[in-house]
C-alpha cells in the first residue's frame, strides 16, 4: 500500500483534480460517478492497462473536513480488505492497489464497460439470461470458497461486466450467441459478511426478507430459490436471497 499525504488537498476541487491526476492516478479523469457505494473515477493513462477505475468514499469530496464521518473511512477500509480477501477468481473484481490520501483509502481496480442494470432495462433472450446468470452463480460459489458467506448487496449495479469483443479480434464468432462477449465481474464487497456482526446491510429494493429483520430469520439454511422465473435471474441474484451459499 502506498501512502500519499497533502495538507492542502481537500481545499479546492480544481487543485484536487490536478493533484489526483498528477500524483495518484498518473492519468486523466474522463468520467466520475457517485452513488450509495461511494465515488468512482474512470482514468485514462498512457500505459497498460489504458483504463482503470478508482473508488473511494463520498466523504472524499467534502471541502469541510470537520463534517467528515470516521465511519465513512472505516467503511471503505473494510470494503478494500474484503475485496482482496474474497476476490479469488476472474469473475470477481480484484483491486490492483490501495492508496491513502489524507487517510482516505482510494482503491485502484480494473475498468469495466458497465453494469448489469443496462441489461435489466431491456428484454433479454433466454440464452443471454442463462449466460449472464451462470457467471454470477459461479462467481459467488468461488467467493464462498474464500470465506464469503453473505455478499448482502447483490444487485444489478454491483454486477459489472467486461466486453471481451474489445479485447479479442472477431470474438465471439458470428454464428455464436453474441452475449458470450460479456464477462461478469462481481463487485462491491462493502457489507460482505456484515451479518455476522449484526449488520443486515443491503439495498432496500433488493433486500432479502431476513435483511429487514435479522431476529426472525436465520441466514444459515437459506439457499437460492429454485422456482424463480428464469428472466428474473438477470436482476440478479434473486431478490429473495443475498447469500453466496447457493450450492447446497
Residue 73, all three cell numbers = 473511512
Give, for 160, the enclosing helix (H) or strand (E).
Answer: strand 159-163
Cβ–Cβ under 8 Å, residues 22 and 39 = no
Residue among 17, 18, 27 at smallest CA distance from 50: 27
Rounded to whole angstroms, the Cα distance separating 89 from 142 reads 7
DSSP designation for 196: G
Place of cell 473511512: 73
Closest alpha carbon to 130 in 233, 224, 246 = 233
Q: Which residues of the chain have pLDDT under 70?
A: 1-12, 36-37, 63-67, 194, 196, 198, 200-248
The rounded distance, in Å, linking the Cα atoms of 236 and 14 is 39
Q: Counting every residue, how long is the chain? A: 248
All three cell numbers of 116: 448489469
Contact 235, 183 (CB under 8 A): no
The 10s digit of each residue's pLDDT in 38-78 is 889 999 999 999 999 999 988 887 766 666 777 778 888 88
Are residues 136 and 238 in contact, defined by beta-carbon separation less than 8 angstroms? no
Helix, strand, coil share (%) of the chain residues, nearest 5 = 35, 20, 45
Residue 230 has a pLDDT of 35
Q: Are 2 and 97 in contact (CB under 8 A)?
A: yes
Closest by alpha carbon to 35, among 161, 157, 202, 194?
157
Torsion of CA 127, 114, 155, 226, to 10 degrees: 10
Amino acid at each position: 500500500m502506498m501512502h500519499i499525504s497533502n495538507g492542502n488537498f481537500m481545499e479546492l476541487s480544481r487543485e484536487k483534480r490536478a493533484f489526483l491526476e498528477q500524483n495518484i492516478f498518473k492519468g486523466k479523469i474522463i468520467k466520475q460517478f457517485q452513488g450509495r457505494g461511494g465515488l468512482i473515477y474512470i482514468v485514462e493513462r498512457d500505459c497498460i492497462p489504458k483504463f482503470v477505475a478508482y473508488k473511494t468514499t463520498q466523504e472524499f469530496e467534502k471541502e469541510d473536513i470537520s463534517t467528515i464521518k470516521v465511519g465513512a473511512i472505516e467503511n471503505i477500509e473494510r470494503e478494500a480488505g474484503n475485496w482482496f480477501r474474497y476476490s479469488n477468481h476472474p469473475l470477481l473484481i480484484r483491486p490492483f492497489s490501495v492508496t491513502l490520501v489524507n487517510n482516505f483509502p482510494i482503491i485502484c481496480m480494473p475498468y469495466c464497460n458497465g453494469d448489469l442494470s443496462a441489461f435489466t432495462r431491456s428484454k433479454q433472450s433466454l440464452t443471454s439470461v442463462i449466460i449472464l446468470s451462470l457467471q454470477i452463480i459461479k462467481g459467488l460459489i468461488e467467493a464462498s470458497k474464500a470465506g464469503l458467506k453473505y455478499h448482502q448487496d447483490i444487485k444489478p449495479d454491483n454486477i459489472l461486466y467486461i466486453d471481451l469483443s474489445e479485447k479479442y479480434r472477431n470474438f465471439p464468432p458470428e454464428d455464436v450467441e453474441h452475449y458470450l462477449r460479456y464477462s461478469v465481474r462481481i463487485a462491491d464487497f462493502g457489507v460482505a459478511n456484515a451479518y455476522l456482526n449484526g449488520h443486515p446491510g443491503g439495498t432496500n429494493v433488493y433486500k432479502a426478507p431476513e435483511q429487514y429483520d435479522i431476529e426472525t430469520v436465520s441466514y444459515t439454511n437459506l439457499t437460492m430459490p429454485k422456482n424463480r422465473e428464469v428472466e428474473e435471474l438477470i436482476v440478479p441474484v434473486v431478490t429473495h436471497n443475498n447469500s453466496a451459499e447457493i450450492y447446497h
